[in-house]
A and B are shown apart, each in its own frame.
Chain A
Amino acid sequence: MNSTILLIQLLNGVQFGVLLFLIAAGLTLVFGVMGFINLAHGVQYMIGAYLTFMYYSWTNHFLAALALGLVTALVLGLLLEELIFRHLYTRDHLDQVLATFGIILFVNELVKVIWGPGTLTLPTPEILSGSIQLTENLKYPVYRLALIAIGLFVALCLYVIVTKTRVGMLIRAGASDSETVNALGVNISRLFMIVFGFGAMLAGLAGALAAPIFTIEPGMGDNLLIVAFVVIIIGGIGSIRGAFIAALLVGVLDTLGRTIATDAMGLIFDASAANQIGPSIASMLIYLFMATILFFKPQGLFPAQGGAR
């Protein structure tokens, strides 16, 4: 373990955190504003990756594929909202869990039927395929840096939208007390649709951006979904700022944990035991972190007042 590896892992952690933020942003808003548990949010991440892959194989142009993928992800998100989710907002959380679980089963299987059960890869776009010499003996892929930049940019845009615009004001109001917002005559169902479509698109963006780094496979969003839930619980449901900070914390904790845990266990156990225990300790870290946060702050770090029971 030296400082170069540590720095690389730190950057990887930030990059993972940024991806998590893109997924968690939509999730926390949908959850916070509408009180809707959308397990199918991970599916939207997967759809983003597959759509970009499909358009890339047609156009051979990454940016065009990305743009087309995002538009399609948005349309699909709005379609799902119109057809299914809209009817579930007033329902019990359990009904929402059930229906969105059904959607997960369906879309995962559909993807398997269309593109096969195997893993697919998407090449990194050529302009971004090199590496940058960051320090004397540290090269870091440009694409990953670009990903961090895009994520931070989106976070900034979201922050401006949520704090400075009228829609943002309504979203914040909705997150803290959606009944009153409705009573004040705001077209709440249109607000919900905007939030939902936007969230779906962000998750799709995360999937598309992750595609060149991770492999594309059926069910790729399932485990990330759980991590994204951990993020929004830590951050406080309905809070974009909380989601951003929690996403970075979780991303860095998880990535660094994977590097450090095995070495740390090596100090206590012998090498082979450490190799066994290290990775599982690392996988547990974020859940331990969440349980600890909830123990001391049962509403998360930045609770949106009164919203989303």
Chain B
Amino acid sequence: MSELPVPDLAPVNRGPLDRSLMIGLIVLGLLAIMPLLSPILGGDYMLSLVIKAMIFAIAAISLDLVLGYGGMVSFGHAVFLGIGAYVTGIALQEGVYGAFPILALVLLISGAFALITGAISLRTTGVYFIMITLAFAQMVYFSLTSLSYYGGDDGLTLWDTPEVFGMYLFQTGSGLFYSTLVLLALIWFFVWRLAMSRFGRVLRAAKQNPTRVGSLGYNVFVYRLIAYVISGMLAGVAGFLLACQAEFISPSTTSWQISGHLIIMVVLGGLATRNGPLLGALFVVLIEEILSQITHDWRLIFGPLLVLIVLFSKGGLAGLLKNKRATG
């Protein structure tokens, strides 16, 4: 494999003054000081809102690996959130309290699920791939509703949170906040590095022209499958955090509306960009909250807003920023 030429598509400006790196670090830095600002901005409520936004940012970043860099439109990515949450919830219920064993289980099971469903789904492309990933998510959704021992349709309230070295790290707001932030920063960094690596270049090249990449000797299917599995595992981590935060698990986490929401976050933020999914997730969660403060019928504003953003901006929020720079 090592002698194969690697297609070079690096429109990336590297170097210490890399602009996207700066923006990402500033955003993460702002997030890091949120607990200090929270007394001014609305206290614990604000904090838990930001935690939720960060959890969705993890899921969105992991989705971007397949959606943005890989060009595979997964319309069932919420399923990994659900798996992560349910593995966490069930483990706690069955007496496994250690955060690391639970996380290992989450990674293992969401990875295994991604491997199996990915191997089947990746036989198809385009619209058919969209629908088959949706189908798997729907199947999991209905399986979870029948798990009556763990709450069935109504979901399950968790009475414990995972412990880290004997500490209940996730029970305090700031403990959960910083754990989520650290995981977010790691995953943000990891996915970008992965996308810029040799592996990522093959993946991105295969998005543009799978036939050509295939004829260079790469097994496109395998590359895509690996990306899908990694993405599923990372989204599983988001599910773990979601269960820790909500202390509640429910089949509705895997509903197609949530999968749609994740796609919205990635596309709004900007596909296959370093900060796109991060900004997109923060934007969507916060704007929904702000609008719902203004009016009960906030979807009347948010819906048309989505349409307008699509009609008048190409390339999401990241593209909007870029356009401004280009014209101004």
Distance A300 CA – B127 CA, assembled complex (angstroms): 11
Does B124 sit within 8 A of A, measured CB to CB? Answer: yes
Residues of A contacting B127 in the complex (Cβ-Cβ under 8 angstroms):
31, 37, 93, 233, 237, 308-309
Does A280 sit within 8 A of B, measured CB to CB? Answer: yes
Given contacts A87-B311, A98-B267, A299-B128, contact A105 B303 (CB under 8 A): yes
How far in angstroms is the closest Cβ of chain B from A178?
15
Q: Do B138 and A284 touch across chains, with their CB atoms under 8 A apart? A: yes
Does B94 sit within 8 A of A, measured CB to CB? Answer: no
Distance A226 CA – B309 CA, assembled complex (angstroms): 25
- SS class of chain B's interface: helix, strand, loop or mixed? helix
- SS class of chain A's interface: helix, strand, loop or mixed? helix
Does A112 sit within 8 A of B, measured CB to CB? Answer: yes
Q: Do A99 and B132 touch across chains, with their CB atoms under 8 A apart? A: no
Q: Do A106 and B299 touch across chains, with their CB atoms under 8 A apart? A: yes
Q: Which of B179-236 contact A (CB under 8 A)?
A: none
Residue of A37, A106, A295 ringed by the most chain B CB atoms within 10 A? A106
Chain B residue with the shortest CB-CB distance to A95: B310
Q: Do A295 and B300 touch across chains, with their CB atoms under 8 A apart? A: no
Band of interface residues on B:
35 or more
Distance A99 CA – B263 CA, assembled complex (angstroms): 12
Q: Do A109 and B256 touch across chains, with their CB atoms under 8 A apart? A: no
Does B305 sit within 8 A of A, measured CB to CB? Answer: yes
Q: Do A291 and B120 touch across chains, with their CB atoms under 8 A apart? A: yes
Residues of B contacting A98 in the complex (Cβ-Cβ under 8 angstroms):
263-264, 267-268, 306, 309-310
Chain B residue with the shortest CB-CB distance to A102: B306
Distance A184 CA – B267 CA, assembled complex (angstroms): 35
Chain B residue with the shortest CB-CB distance to A227: B138
Q: Do B297 and A112 touch across chains, with their CB atoms under 8 A apart? A: yes
Distance A98 CA – B302 CA, assembled complex (angstroms): 12
Given contacts A108-B299, A287-B139, A288-B139, contact A309 B126 (CB under 8 A): yes
Q: Do A105 and B306 touch across chains, with their CB atoms under 8 A apart? A: yes
Q: Which of B22-30, B141-149, B156-164 is found at the contact surface with chain A?
A: B141-149
Band of interface residues on A:
35 or more
Complex partner residue of A276 from B75, B146, B311, CB under 8 angstroms = B146
Complex partner residue of B146 from A84, A93, A277, CB under 8 angstroms = A277
Residues of A contacting B264 in the complex (Cβ-Cβ under 8 angstroms):
98, 101
Given contacts A290-B131, A309-B126, contact A226 B138 (CB under 8 A): yes
Chain A residue with the shortest CB-CB distance to B302: A105
Residues of B contacting A103 in the complex (Cβ-Cβ under 8 angstroms):
303, 307
Given contacts A94-B267, A97-B260, contact A295 B310 (CB under 8 A): no
Chain A residue with the shortest CB-CB distance to B67: A94
Does B325 sit within 8 A of A, measured CB to CB? Answer: no
Residues of B contacting A291 in the complex (Cβ-Cβ under 8 angstroms):
120, 132, 135-136
Chain A residue with the shortest CB-CB distance to B256: A226
Does A298 sit within 8 A of B, measured CB to CB? Answer: yes
Q: Which of B246-264 contact A (CB under 8 A)?
A: 256-257, 260, 263-264
- A-B pairs, top 3 by smallest CB distance, nearest first, are A106-B303, A102-B306, A280-B146
A-B residue pairs in contact (CB < 8 Å), sample of 26: A93-B126, A94-B67, A94-B73, A97-B73, A97-B75, A102-B303, A102-B305, A103-B303, A106-B303, A110-B300, A112-B297, A237-B127, A276-B152, A283-B142, A284-B139, A284-B142, A287-B135, A287-B139, A288-B139, A290-B131, A290-B135, A291-B135, A294-B128, A298-B123, A298-B128, A309-B125
Write the residues of chain B forming the contact surface with A, with a CB cutoff of 8 angstroms: 67, 73, 75, 120, 123-128, 130-132, 134-136, 138-139, 142-143, 145-146, 148, 152, 256-257, 260, 263-264, 267-268, 271, 297, 299-300, 302-307, 309-311
Write the residues of chain A forming the contact surface with B, with a CB cutoff of 8 angstroms: 31, 37, 39, 84, 87-88, 91, 93-95, 97-99, 101-110, 112-113, 222, 226, 229-230, 233, 237, 276-277, 279-281, 283-284, 287-288, 290-291, 294-295, 298-300, 308-309
